[in-house]
């Protein structure tokens, strides 16, 4: 059986998982195709990224073009018909992968599962078209997003891009360089299937001794440890607050994490999970 046949055989299962996630979140998730919906998405993204409505991260006319080109614009609406989240992805040539451009939910609703429902809808959309992979970028310092991507969804990362977007504006990214990790999500992988059913394996942060510590963070506490060949690296629990309160400390975290992550990736490690307290788990080939 070919890989493409395997993927197609999983499409119905992926659709059911996406439908269940939307039900749990209390939303209707759809492929948005109308200009009024695109305008609402444009405004939502401006709110999420703290940008003026006149400077949206992605304008409605571009969303319309992306949808018209046969790519994915996903929207989540609550029972009252109010937009609560959206996600946008384009398709690589040859349908080898999807690239997620942007995704966000209404501020204050992150714990409702709307983001999970959006990503599972995108996963089902991709698998129905024989697309086996999705990739996107995320800020390694934003531990909540990192945990969602690597632990909740089952993606992994082994590539670090320094200042990927250049200078950025808005409340979330201001006063910091735009370093990014590249998330890779194999949509038909058994781990992705487990995660789609709410069975995501949780990384278990180990007990450690002073001899296990390989480096401290800018706050002076242990931030890099090695236990039984598995590396763990800590990031702040709320880097957005750190940026607002102490930009110099935020910049120090950026430099520290950049150094650690690039060294680990160069040594053959992969980041495959993040704990609730902000510790990344890095494994080398053959570990699980």
Q: What is the pLDDT of residues 117-175, one digit of tens each?
A: 999 999 999 999 999 999 999 999 999 999 999 999 999 999 999 999 887 665 565 66
Task: Quickly state the pLDDT bin for 287 (edges 50, 70, 90).
Answer: low
pLDDT at 171 (0 to 100): 56
Average pLDDT, the chain: 92
On whether the CB atoms of residues 252 and 219 are closer than 8 A, the answer is no
pLDDT at 10 (0 to 100): 87
Q: What is the pLDDT of residues 251-270, one digit of tens each?
A: 999 999 999 999 999 999 99
Residue 236 has pLDDT above 60, yes or no: yes
Q: What is the pLDDT of residues 16-60, one digit of tens each?
A: 999 999 999 999 999 999 999 999 999 999 999 888 888 899 999
pLDDT at 282 (0 to 100): 98
pLDDT at 53 (0 to 100): 87
What does CATH list as the number for 3-196?
Answer: 3.40.630.30
Strand order through the sheet with 180-186: 28-31, 72-77, 83-91, 98-105, 133-138, 180-186, 160-161
Residue 74 has pLDDT above 90, yes or no: yes
pLDDT at 7 (0 to 100): 62
pLDDT at 118 (0 to 100): 98
State the maximum Cα–Cα separation within the chain, in Å, rounded to a whole number.
59
pLDDT at 1 (0 to 100): 35
pLDDT at 175 (0 to 100): 64
Q: What are the boundaries of each domain within the chain?
A: 3-196, 210-283
């Amino acid at each position: 059986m070919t890989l493409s046949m395997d993927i197609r055989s999983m499409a119905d299962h992926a659709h059911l998982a996406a439908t269940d996630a939307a039900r749990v979140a209390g939303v209707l998730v759809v492929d948005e195709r109308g200009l009024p919906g695109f305008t609402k998405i444009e405004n939502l993204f401006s709110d999420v990224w703290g940008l003026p409505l006149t400077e949206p991260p992605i304008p409605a006319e571009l969303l319309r073009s992306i949808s018209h080109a046969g790519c994915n614009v996903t929207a989540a609406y609550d029972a009252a018909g109010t937009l609560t989240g959206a996600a946008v992805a384009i398709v690589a040539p040859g349908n080898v992968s999807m690239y997620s451009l942007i995704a966000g939910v209404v501020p204050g609703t992150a714990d409702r599962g709307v983001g999970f429902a959006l990503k599972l809808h995108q996963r089902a959309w991709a698998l129905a078209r024989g697309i086996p992979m999705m990739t996107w970028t995320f800020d390694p310092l934003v531990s909540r997003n990192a945990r969602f991507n690597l632990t909740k969804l089952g993606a992994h990362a082994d590539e670090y891009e320094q200042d990927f977007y250049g200078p950025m504006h808005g409340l979330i990214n201001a006063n910091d360089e735009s370093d990014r990790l590249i998330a890779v999500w194999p949509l038909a992988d058994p781990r992705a299937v487990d995660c789609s059913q709410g069975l995501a394996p949780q990384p278990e942060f180990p007990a450690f001794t002073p001899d296990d510590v390989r480096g401290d963070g800018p706050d002076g506490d242990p931030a890099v440890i090695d236990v039984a060949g598995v590396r763990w690296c800590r990031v702040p629990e709320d880097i957005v607050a750190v940026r607002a309160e102490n930009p110099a400390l935020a910049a120090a975290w950026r430099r520290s994490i950049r150094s650690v992550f690039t060294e680990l990736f160069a040594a053959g490690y992969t980041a495959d999970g993040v704990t609730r307290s902000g510790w990344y788990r890095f494994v080398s080939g053959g570990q699980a």
